[in-house]
Amino acid sequence: MSRKIFLVLLSTSLTAFVLTSSQGQQETSRQSDRSATPTRMPKLSRTSAPPVRGTLVEETVTLRTLPHFIDQYGVHAASERLLADASTRSHVVGHLAEEDFTSRNPAYRKVRSPNAPQNDLWVRSSSGQLWGVQVKTHKSGSPAEYLRDMQKDSKAEYFLVPDDHVRRLQEKIEQEVAAAKARGDAEATASLSRQLGRVRQLGRNYDELEKAVLNHATTMLQRGGAVRAVVVSGLLTVAADGTVIACRAASGELTPMETQQQLVEAATKGGAVSLSTAGALLLGANPVGVTVVVVGGITYIVMEYGIDEFRSVYRTSPMTRPQLEKMLPTAWHLDEL
The reported pLDDT for the residue numbered 12 is 47
* Same domain? 60 vs 193: yes
Is the predicted pLDDT of residue 279 greater than 60, yes or no? yes
More confident residue, 280 or 287: 280
* Same domain? 124 vs 232: no
The kind and range of the H/E element at 68 are: helix 67-73
Helix, strand counts (H, E) of the chain = 12, 5
The answer as to whether 216 is a domain residue is no
The reported pLDDT for the residue numbered 7 is 39
* Same domain? 196 vs 255: no
Note whether 265 and 300 are within 8 A (CB): no
The answer as to whether 164 is a domain residue is yes
The answer as to whether 21 is a domain residue is no
Of 171, 204, 237, the last residue of a domain is: 204
Domain count, the chain: 2
* Same domain? 57 vs 158: yes
Of 204, 237, 268, the last residue of a domain is: 204
Over the stretch 39-69, which tens digit does the pLDDT of each residue have? 456 656 555 578 999 999 999 999 999 999 9
The answer as to whether 13 is a domain residue is no
* Same domain? 171 vs 252: no
Taking CA atoms, 54 is separated from 179, 212, 258, 306, in Å, by 45, 7, 51, 41
* Same domain? 173 vs 252: no
* Same domain? 187 vs 295: no
Over the stretch 182-216, which tens digit does the pLDDT of each residue have? 999 999 999 999 999 999 999 999 999 999 999 99
Q: Using alpha carbons only, give the angle 229, 231, 234 rounded to the nearest 5 degrees.
A: 100
* Same domain? 52 vs 125: yes
Domain boundaries, position 149: 40-204
